Structures are given as C-alpha cells and as structure tokens.
Amino acid sequence: MDYKSYIAQKLDIKELSVKEIAESIEIPPDTSLGDFALPCFPLSKIMRQSPVKIAESLKEKFVTDDKVVKCSVVGGYLNFTIDREKYADDVLREIKKDGALYGASSFGNGKTICVDYSSINIAKPFHIGHLSTTVIGSALCKIFAFLGYKVVGINHLGDYGTQFGKLIVAFKKWSDEETVRRDKLEELSRIYVKFHEEAKKDPSLEDEARRYFALIEKGDEESNRLFGLFKEITLAEVDKIYKLLNVTFDSYAGESFYNDKMDAVVEELREKGLITVSDGASIVDLKDYDMPPCLILKSDGSSLYATRDLAAAVYRHNTYDFYKCLYVVAYQQDLHFKQVFKVLELMGKPWAKDMVHVSYGMVSLESGSMSTREGKVVLLKDVIDRTVEKAYKVIEEKNPDLKDKEETARAVGTGAVIFGALSNNKIKDIVFSYDRVLSFEGETCPYVLYTVARCNSVLDKVSAKKEFTVPALTDSEYAVISALGRFPETVVSAAEKYEPSLITRYAIDLAKAFNKFYIDCKIATEDENLRSFRVELVSAVKTALTNALTLLGIKTVKEM
C-alpha cells in the first residue's frame, strides 16, 4: 500500500494535487515523532498562514483510522503514526507475492522510451571515460523496462568522420590486415596515435586522410572494406566488455547510418526558412534564444554532429513513436543538445519537448587525465580486470575455502565498478579508486553483496513455518520494514529523475538497516512465531536488494 498517497488523499488540501502532497511527505529522522511527516513550511505562501497554524488546522480535519492511527503537530510538521504491524504484514506479503517483480509496475505500458547511450567510437579503445554513459544508460533501460515501458537501447556508434580516413592512411603506411586481426584495437590505437605524431611533421597526411574519407562517402569498395574491418573488430572487442557489464542494445545505428537521411532534414530546414548562410556555412540562427548558431553544413557542404543528430531524432520518432528519447551524454555537450532540441522545436516538431539530455559528470582515475590521440587512455577492460583481481585477493584472505572463488570475484569486481560509477548523483565528476570501491565496509558494492550473502546464510540455516502473525516491532525491525516499503517509490523516482544513484543509495540504506537488525535481533529464537517473522523479513531483504542490484546491472552471489 502507498501510505504517502493514502495520507495525501485523506488530507484533501485543495491548493495541491494528491501527487504533489504525496511527494512532499517525508519520513522523519526520529521515528518516535511518527512514521510520516508533512512539512507545512512550503504551504505558507499558498495558504497565507504560519506553518504551525496550517499543521494544526490540517490535524483538526484529519480522521484517523485502522491504518493511520495517530496525527500530531510538532512545530511546522504534521506527523502521522501508522499501524506498524499491519504495515509490516502488508509489505512482507507483497514482497513474497511479487518476488523478482517487487517494485515493478505497468504504468509505462504502451509507451516507448529510446535511450541513446555508450556510443563508443569505432577503432578506438573502450576506456574508462565510457563507463558512466554505459552504466547509467543501461540502468535507465532496466528501470524503465521494470516499470512497463517498451525500451529501445541505442548505441549511436561514432563511425563517421575524417578519423577513418586517418586510420586508412595509417593502416596503409604502418600496418597490415594480419597484424590488425591479431592485435585488434591495440594495433588500431597504435597506428591512430602514430598518425597524429607523423602529421605534426608532415601536414600533408591530413589532406590524404580527408581524401580517403571522401572515398568512403562515395562508396569506394576498398576504403569501405577497410572501414568495415575496423568496425567488425571494434564491435567484437567491445561486446566482451558489454557482456561483463550486463549491457545490451536493440540498435547499433551509428552516425554513418544517417548519411542518406540528412539531406531531407536540411531541405526541410531550408523550406521552413530556418537556414541562413554565414561565411559560407549553413546555420540556424539561435541568438533570440541566447545561444550561438547551430551549424548545419560547413562551407564545403559537409555535415556536422548537429546535422546527424537532427536526422537521427527524426528517424527515431518516425520509427519508434517514442514517449521520450533520452541522450546519456556528458555535460560538456549541454549546449549541443539545447541547440538540437531548439532547432527541432523551430521545425515545428511537437515531440521536441520529449527529447531529454541526461547529462553526467566525468570519470577519471587518481592517476589523471586521458587523451586518445596521445595514447594516454585507461582501458575499461584493464580497470575491470584489476578490480576482479583485487576482489579475488580479498576473498582469498577472508574466505579461502569459498567455492567458485573466480566466479564470485568476477561478480564482486565487476559489480564494484558499476556500483562505484552509480554511487553519486550522475552530474558529479568521479575520481575512481580501486581501494574505495572494493571496501567491504561503508557504502560500496561488496558491502551490499555481503548483505545478500548473509541473508542466504540465514535462510539456509534457520527453519520457519509458513504462517505467522507480525509481533510488536522493535525499532530495528521497523527500520527494515520501512526501508523495504520504500523500494517501489524509489524505482519510480529514479525513472522520473533519470537518476540510477537513487537505487544505489536505497541498496546501501536497506543493507545498513538490515545489518543493524541482524546485530540487534536474534533470528534463530525459540519463539516459533517470532522466528518465522524474522526469517520472512530476511527473505524480503534478499528479494529487495537483489531487485535493486539487478536494475543496476549487478549480479548477486550466493556466498562471499
């Protein structure tokens, strides 16, 4: 039962909708004050009264019942006390009934959400800079699917531009097909770096690169065969990383896919009088919207990122008829997407309002910055391998007799990388630390996974009967119940705010509440009813934590 909505309906504040009231209701930090609280301070401006007077007025009209048994005023807060035992019974029954679908819903049914994420560059290594877009996008796909939406995950490949002309020049001068097929991205990265080193000495190489890219665009057989080889090798290599991270896509339509779809968009812009020419380049003037012009075509007639993104947006709407189209791209591209969305709006596309840039901060290692051109990159595979290796060492120290140590280390290490990238609000920059993400204490993936393993251990060792009545709850027990009950609303909030870190935060909070309960309350007690209730509580925690981690793309382990 959604107690926040239930209380909001009973309050019947005419100035606000039930949804607005429910969203304002909080859980007090001191549960002795109540189980839910409505802060009345924001209502002062609307109702033109002091928060205390508003709270007292609402209390007089509020009718308690068998669900909300008490209503009280403390300062400018209206506090509500519920029947905790009934609430516990409701929550535990719902979790037992729904299992792996606890927290899921169907309110997204009939709606399609496109999620453009990861968007790796062909022939370039999959480095740690791709981590955030990949795991945030993947988590959003899973969260929206869990809520009933049809989700289309799109990997908008960076497979267009003069860098492919550069690669062909580099390939012909300093490599061969046998070496590329053997050493894969390592070789492609080597010759890409070498091209830039040599181009500094011989600028004519840049002209040669442009010539080869023009050949790709014109359909030259040999140039396109090499381009296809680079693409094939890249996708085969990055797919290994995607499998480790539990990431999948429905479309790999990259920039080159829209090569024959841009002319129609440019023509539409011209027909609607949106294009002007500036220094030979075709632009859409956005000065009335406090933005620099959006470049559509260079002076030589070639396209830009904006051209391809406009074509992609039109294609996606025509193909998927999306409810929302999300772009999980770093905050450095904030202006780019504001320009693209504004141009779509000026074109008269009513669905322009449904385009969303889900921006995020950058990921770096403690060792510093990266540059693909200079060869200064930290490969994501190396980060995962090192994290798995460190996880294995920790397991060897703490539990050397554990079965399937390699598999457990892989789950813990990979999970730690994902969880670490999703731990903070997505807009924050992250400095990735191996030691921090692998700590078994504090707010980390190993801590949550260890809690699931602890639940498994209890369920294996302690027997219980199927039926029980909820006893008078201790504070520790109710803290767990309260956390369990918040999972469905947390999933919805994570979707509405495009913020997977809310799920990460939830998992930490529930794990902390459970571990306090585990210390405070004996589970294998002789009281059969109490034992059965506590075992059911353990089972519910395991279900909720497993569901939360699954939405993040993290696999749980039986033991640790």
CA distance 216 to 162: 10
The pTM assigned to this predicted structure is 0.92
Question: From residue 457, how far is each of 145, 452, 545, 559 by CA, in Å?
Answer: 31, 9, 15, 8
Selection from 497, 495, 500, 487 nearest residue 542 by Cα: 487
156: left (phi over 0), alpha (psi -120 to 50) or beta: beta
Selection from 556, 480, 474, 548 nearest residue 514 by Cα: 480
Segment 152-175 shows an average pLDDT of 94
pLDDT tier, 239 (very low <50, low <70, confident <90, very high otherwise): very high
pLDDT digits (tens, 9 = 90+) for 322-345: 999 999 999 999 999 999 999 999
CA distance 223 to 216: 6
pLDDT tier, 6 (very low <50, low <70, confident <90, very high otherwise): very high
CA distance 75 to 38: 11
215-225 in b/e form (b: 16+ CB < 10 A) is: bbbeeeeebee
Cβ neighbours of residue 375 closer than 8 Å, sequence gap 6 or more: 189, 190, 193
Q: What's residue 368's pLDDT? A: 57
CA distance 367 to 375: 15
Q: What's residue 120's pLDDT? A: 92
Segment 448-457 shows an average pLDDT of 97
pLDDT digits (tens, 9 = 90+) for 344-367: 999 999 999 999 999 998 777 666
Q: What's residue 238's pLDDT? A: 93
Selection from 523, 527, 540 nearest residue 468 by Cα: 527
Cβ neighbours of residue 92 closer than 8 Å, sequence gap 6 or more: 470, 481, 484, 536, 537, 540
Domains of the chain: 3-82 (3.30.1360.70)
pLDDT digits (tens, 9 = 90+) for 252-265: 999 999 989 999 99
Q: Do 265 and 307 form a contact (C-beta atoms < 8 A)?
A: yes
CA distance 272 to 291: 20
- Read out DSSP for 221-243? HHHHHHHHHHHHHHHHHHHHHHH
Question: From residue 87, how far is each of 19, 34, 36, 193, 527 by CA, in Å?
Answer: 21, 14, 13, 62, 22
Residue 297 has pLDDT above 60, yes or no: yes
CA distance 298 to 239: 34
Segment 143-147 shows an average pLDDT of 98
CA distance 343 to 265: 11
Q: Do 125 and 372 form a contact (C-beta atoms < 8 A)?
A: yes
CA 462, 544, 106: angle at the middle one, nearest 5? 140
| Averaged confidence pLDDT in the chain | 93
Q: Do 361 and 330 form a contact (C-beta atoms < 8 A)?
A: yes
Sign of CA dihedral 488, 491, 494, 497: negative
Q: What's residue 372's pLDDT? A: 47
What are the start-end ranges of the H helices in 62-130? 84-98
Q: Do 59 and 73 form a contact (C-beta atoms < 8 A)?
A: yes
